[in-house]
Amino acid sequence: MKITKTVADTEILRELGERLARTRLEQNITQAELAVLAGVSKRTIERLEAGVVGTQLSGFIRVCNALGLTERFDLLVPAPLPSPIEQLKLRGHQRRRASRHAPIKGAQPDPAGTWSVAEPGPADWKWGDET
């Protein structure tokens, strides 16, 4: 059965339960063995496979994990991508390259290519040299 938005919730639960049961049987695992692997009761496995309403989602996740199906959850509910507008806003905040600073007056490049300014000592300073 193809699951669509027009299918009733109870039918979806029943279909998911049948799919879990088929996957379990393909792997040649009994309900009791799956219960031990998933860390749930055998009754939880029975209820999931029967599509019983009210079965907890955590039990479903544990069973899917034990059957090796959790990687498919990304297909079920993919992570939302930022909208094109959000991408444009984010792009303005990301630096693409370092800016080049103009050398400061009196700065000298060292062998590594960085600029340094020699601090004037007290003997080098005179009134009127504030600039």
The pLDDT value given to residue 76:
81
pLDDT of residue 8: 86
Residue 18 inside a domain? The answer is yes
Is residue 109 situated within a structural domain? no
pLDDT at residue 120 greater than cutoff 60: no
Maximum average pLDDT range among 39-53, 77-91, 94-108: 39-53
- Type of residue numbered 70: T
CATH number for the domain spanning 31: value is: 1.10.260.40
* In-domain check, residue 88: no
Q: Is residue 130 part of a domain?
A: no
46-67 confidence digits (pLDDT tens): 999 999 888 788 888 899 999 9
Q: Does some domain include residue 21?
A: yes
Give dist(CA 61, CA 63) in Å, integer.
Answer: 5
Q: What is the mean pLDDT of residues 30-34?
A: 95
Q: Is residue 105 part of a domain?
A: no
- By residue range, what is the domain housing residue 67? 9-76
DSSP-derived secondary structure for 81-124 = PPPHHHHHHHHHHS--SPPPPPPPTTEEE-TTS-EEEPPPPGGG
Q: Structurally, how many domains does the chain consist of? A: 1
Helix (H, G, I), strand (E, B) or coil at 115: strand
* Whether residue 119 has pLDDT greater than 70: no
**Total-model pTM:** 0.57
